[in-house]
């Protein structure tokens, strides 16, 4: 242990310059209270945006693309592998212009709509409430519905809840029965508006607080269904929004949302695939800045709710690059490289540290939009590097966090906008999974150097059983429809048990997940 601390001090003081030889050190401790990683932290988001729903998840029963009752089979099977805990729908900005009654009943009788937020695309409403909730059943995940506060009425929202969850002999439950669904679905998570400060109605926080109170009052619990009501939260650094909502809404909400995107600059987002090493490191800096943002929102929540009854739900996060060339404007279709994989891994490492407050997060978005798991083009499908991170981290769902102290050299990065941030070369997270095994995730973001990591355990020395590796020759590598396997998970064995713990030898720019017992 003393040797570990000494090495750590040297590294931090910058006394060692040839970092290929410096050991990064990691001490894994015993669990503390309240440290369960809520499975919903691994949540997904599907908005009516571009080809996320139409073409991505849903092709319709008459499509030549192999499907199960209209859902793309290839996408369905790939998503099942991720054990998705929760899926948010129908938006995003789309939610506050969505009128759910237009999306029920015989599909050929449903009116079309113009998707005003996202490129003005005309949609035929063939994917609506029944299609979404049945998809969640197929995936075995909780649905998370975003209700329309911006342009909808209290009555419309109340009836939607009744349509989905009531088993009584009432007009809305009977309408559902007439549409082929006898029993109500279980719907737990219900969002009362989305980005109500912006596309969801351009409101100020005190006004929205009152609207939340009013709308939420009529979102009833039918039978045994208990709604978990989520208020539309702040974007990034808007701490006042959180403060006003905590003060004015308080325990009337079960959760408060937060959106944080890893964006270089809203006016100059940059290419998803063509970037230099400085742009890579500054992306990592922006990604990791979420930790400070979380800490400040959590501190405000703690002030009003010290017992942590209200959950923080980061229900939109991920990278946002320029739309891919040749794709339709407003559809937010972007490629996904090893850089995106790091953003996913490092963000999870941070979320795991705040499990007593953060109970759900939803990466934006599941298919074909922003930092997707999956990209599709007609009948082709590719899995992205981000998909593989979700797969490698799957066993963290429901696991108990093991606090850790990591000592890694750091790098100062200056973004093109001039923001200065410091990032560690090695990041990690550890947890005891449901089988009693330890999952340890390590990221070496160093583009130049391999790294040796010396791991010790607070209590007893443990044995590494197996490892998975995600890396590629170039940080900008990605999977395309023609070359779908450039980046993929491989087996990792470059670790050994020592007298002190475990030593891991990580390739440059790599993500490793070890199973230890
Ligand atoms: O995820 C894309 C959009 O980003 C969502 O619709 C909106 O809520 C956010 O601004």
pLDDT tens, position by position, 187-207: 999 999 999 999 999 999 999
How far from chain centre, in Å, is Cα 145? 16
Mean pLDDT, to the nearest integer, of 96-113? Answer: 98
What residue's CA is closest to ligand 1, atom 4? 92
Query: What atom of ligand 1 comes closest to residue 195's alpha carbon?
Result: 8
Render pLDDT for 275-302 as a digit per residue (tens, 0 to 9). Answer: 999 999 999 999 999 999 999 999 999 9
Mean pLDDT, to the nearest integer, of 165-181? Answer: 98
How much is the pLDDT for 33? Answer: 76
CA angle 287, 291, 297 (to 5 degrees): 125
How much is the pLDDT for 416? Answer: 85
In CATH terms, the fold of domain 39-399 is TIM Barrel (3.20.20)
Q: Burial of 312 by CB count in 10 Å (0-12 exposed, 13-18 middle, 19+ buried)? A: buried
Distance from the CA of 36 to the center of ligand 1, in angstroms? 28
- pLDDT band with cut points at 50, 70 and 90 for residue 19: very low
In CATH terms, the fold of domain 2-33+402-516 is Immunoglobulin-like (2.60.40)
d(CA 382, CA 56): 11
Mean pLDDT, to the nearest integer, of 479-494? Answer: 98
How much is the pLDDT for 255? Answer: 98
**Pocket-forming residues, ligand 1, beta carbon under 6 Å:** 47, 91-93, 194-195, 316, 364-365, 370
CATH 2.60.40.1180 residue window(s) in the chain: 2-33+402-516
Distance from the CA of 55 to the center of ligand 1, in angstroms? 19
Residue 341 has pLDDT above 80, yes or no: yes
Whether 474 and 460 have beta carbons less than 8 Å apart is answered as no
The gap between the terminal CA atoms of the chain, to the nearest Å, is 21
Q: What is the DSSP letter of 186?
A: P
Mean pLDDT, to the nearest integer, of 36-58? Answer: 98
Rg (CA), the chain: 23
Residue 2 has pLDDT above 50, yes or no: no
Residue 34 has pLDDT above 80, yes or no: no
Q: Burial of 450 by CB count in 10 Å (0-12 exposed, 13-18 middle, 19+ buried)? A: middle
- pLDDT band with cut points at 50, 70 and 90 for residue 183: very high
How far from chain centre, in Å, is Cα 330? 21
**Lowest-pLDDT choice from 53-57, 167-171, 249-253, 261-265:** 261-265
Residue 7 has pLDDT above 70, yes or no: no
DSSP 29-57: ----TT-B--GGGGEEE--SSTTSTBTTT
Distance from the CA of 430 to the center of ligand 1, in angstroms? 31
How much is the pLDDT for 17? Answer: 40
Q: Which residues lie below 8 Å from residue 194, measured CB to CB, with a gap of 6+?
A: 91, 92, 93, 95, 96, 146, 200, 232, 257
d(CA 151, CA 201): 8
Whether 75 and 372 have beta carbons less than 8 Å apart is answered as no
How much is the pLDDT for 22? Answer: 61
Distance from the CA of 91 to the center of ligand 1, in angstroms? 7
Average model confidence (pLDDT) across the chain: 95
Whether 390 and 336 have beta carbons less than 8 Å apart is answered as no
How much is the pLDDT for 96? Answer: 98
How much is the pLDDT for 346? Answer: 98
What residue's CA is closest to ligand 1, atom 8? 92
d(CA 182, CA 354): 40
Render pLDDT for 318-328 as a digit per residue (tens, 0 to 9). Answer: 999 999 999 99
Q: How many CA atoms lie within 13 A of 286 on its CB side?
A: 27
Mean pLDDT, to the nearest integer, of 312-316? Answer: 98
Distance from the CA of 243 to the center of ligand 1, in angstroms? 22
Mean pLDDT, to the nearest integer, of 416-424? Answer: 92
- pLDDT band with cut points at 50, 70 and 90 for residue 1: very low
d(CA 468, CA 485): 16
Q: Report, as residue numbers or ranges, the catalytic residues.
A: 195, 316
Render pLDDT for 343-357 as a digit per residue (tens, 0 to 9). Answer: 999 999 999 999 999
Query: Where do runs of H (alpha helix) occur along 145-197?
Result: 154-165, 171-178
In b/e form, how buried is each residue of 388-422, taking b as 16+ CB within 10 angstroms? bbbbbbbbbbbbbbbbbebbbbebebebeeeeebe
Residue 47 has pLDDT above 70, yes or no: yes
Residue 378, number of CB atoms within 10 A of its CB? 10
Ligand 1: which of 87, 259, 369 to mutate, judged by most atoms within 8 Å of the beta carbon?
Answer: 259
CATH 3.20.20.80 residue window(s) in the chain: 39-399
Residue with tokens 């030898």: 505
Render pLDDT for 231-247 as a digit per residue (tens, 0 to 9). Answer: 999 999 999 999 999 99
How much is the pLDDT for 423? Answer: 96
In 3D, which of 517, 341, 299 has the Cα closest to residue 427? 341
Sign of the alpha-carbon dihedral angle for 249, 252, 255, 261: negative
Render pLDDT for 383-417 as a digit per residue (tens, 0 to 9). Answer: 999 999 999 999 999 999 999 999 999 999 998 88
What residue's CA is closest to ligand 1, atom 3? 92
Mean pLDDT, to the nearest integer, of 506-517? Answer: 98
Query: What atom of ligand 1 comes closest to residue 95's alpha carbon?
Result: 6
Query: What atom of ligand 1 comes closest to residue 365's alpha carbon?
Result: 1
Q: What is the DSSP letter of 58?
A: B
How much is the pLDDT for 8? Answer: 54
Ligand 1: which of 43, 47, 200 to mutate, judged by most atoms within 8 Å of the beta carbon?
Answer: 47
Residue 27 has pLDDT above 70, yes or no: yes
How much is the pLDDT for 18? Answer: 43
Query: What atom of ligand 1 comes closest to residue 94's alpha carbon?
Result: 6
In 3D, which of 319, 310, 346 has the Cα closest to residue 478? 319
Percent of all residues in the chain with a pLDDT value above 70, rounded to a whole number = 96
- pLDDT band with cut points at 50, 70 and 90 for residue 23: confident
d(CA 257, CA 70): 32
């Amino acid at each position: 242990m003393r040797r570990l601390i000494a090495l750590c001090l040297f590294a931090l003081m910058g006394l060692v310059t040839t970092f290929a030889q410096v050991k990064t050190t990691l001490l894994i401790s015993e669990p503390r209270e309240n440290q369960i990683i809520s499975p919903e932290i691994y949540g997904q988001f599907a908005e009516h945006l571009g080809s996320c729903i139409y073409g991505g998840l849903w092709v319709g029963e008459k499509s030549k693309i192999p499907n199960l009752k209209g859902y793309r089979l290839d996408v369905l099977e790939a998503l099942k592998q991720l054990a998705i805990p929760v899926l948010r729908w129908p938006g995003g900005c789309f939610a506050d212009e969505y009128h759910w009654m237009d999306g029920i009943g015989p599909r050929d009788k449903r009116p079309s709509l113009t998707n005003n937020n996202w490129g003005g695309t005309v949609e035929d409403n063939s994917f609506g409430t029944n299609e979404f909730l049945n998809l969640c059943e197929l995936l075995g995940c909780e649905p998370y519905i975003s209700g329309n506060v911006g342009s909808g009425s209290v009555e419309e929202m109340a009836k939607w809840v009744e349509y989905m969850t009531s088993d009584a002999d009432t007009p809305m439950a009977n309408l559902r029965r007439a549409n082929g669904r006898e029993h109500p679905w279980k719907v737990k998570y219900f969002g009362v508006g989305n980005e109500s400060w912006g596309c969801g109605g351009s409101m100020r926080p005190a006004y929205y607080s009152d609207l939340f109170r009013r709308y939420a009052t009529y979102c009833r619990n039918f039978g045994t269904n208990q709604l978990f009501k989520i208020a539309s939260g702040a974007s990034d650094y808007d701490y006042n929004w959180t403060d006003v909502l905590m003060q004015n809404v308080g325990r009337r909400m079960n959760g408060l949302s937060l959106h944080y995107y890893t964006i270089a600059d809203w006016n100059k987002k940059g290419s998803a695939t063509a970037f230099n090493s400085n742009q890579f490191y500054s992306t990592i800096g922006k990604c990791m800045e979420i930790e400070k943002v979380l800490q400040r929102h959590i501190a405000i929540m703690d002030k009003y709710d010290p017992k942590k009854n209200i959950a923080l739900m980061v229900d939109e996060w991920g990278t946002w690059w320029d739309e891919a060339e040749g794709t339709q404007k407003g559809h937010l279709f972007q490629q996904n490289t090893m850089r995106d994989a790091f953003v996913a891994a490092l963000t999870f490492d941070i979320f795991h540290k705040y499990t007593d407050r953060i109970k759900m997060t939803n990466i934006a978005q599941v298919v074909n939009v922003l930092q997707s798991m999956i990209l599709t083009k007609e009948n082709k499908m590719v899995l992205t590097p981000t998909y593989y991170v979700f797969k490698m981290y799957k066993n963290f769902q429901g696991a108990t966090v093991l606090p850790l102290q990591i000592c890694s050299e750091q790098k100062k990065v200056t973004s093109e906008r001039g923001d200065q941030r410091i990032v560690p070369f090695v990041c990690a997270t550890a947890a005891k999974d449901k089988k009693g095994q330890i999952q340890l995730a390590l990221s070496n973001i160093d583009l130049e150097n391999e790294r040796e990591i010396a791991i010790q355990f607070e209590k007893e020395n443990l044995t590494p059983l197996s490892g998975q590796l995600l890396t590629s020759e170039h940080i900008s590598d990605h999977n395309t429809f023609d070359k779908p396997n450039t980046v993929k998970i491989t087996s990792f064995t470059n670790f050994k048990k020592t007298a002190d713990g475990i030593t891991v030898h990580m390739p440059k720019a790599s993500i490793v997940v070890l199973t230890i017992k």
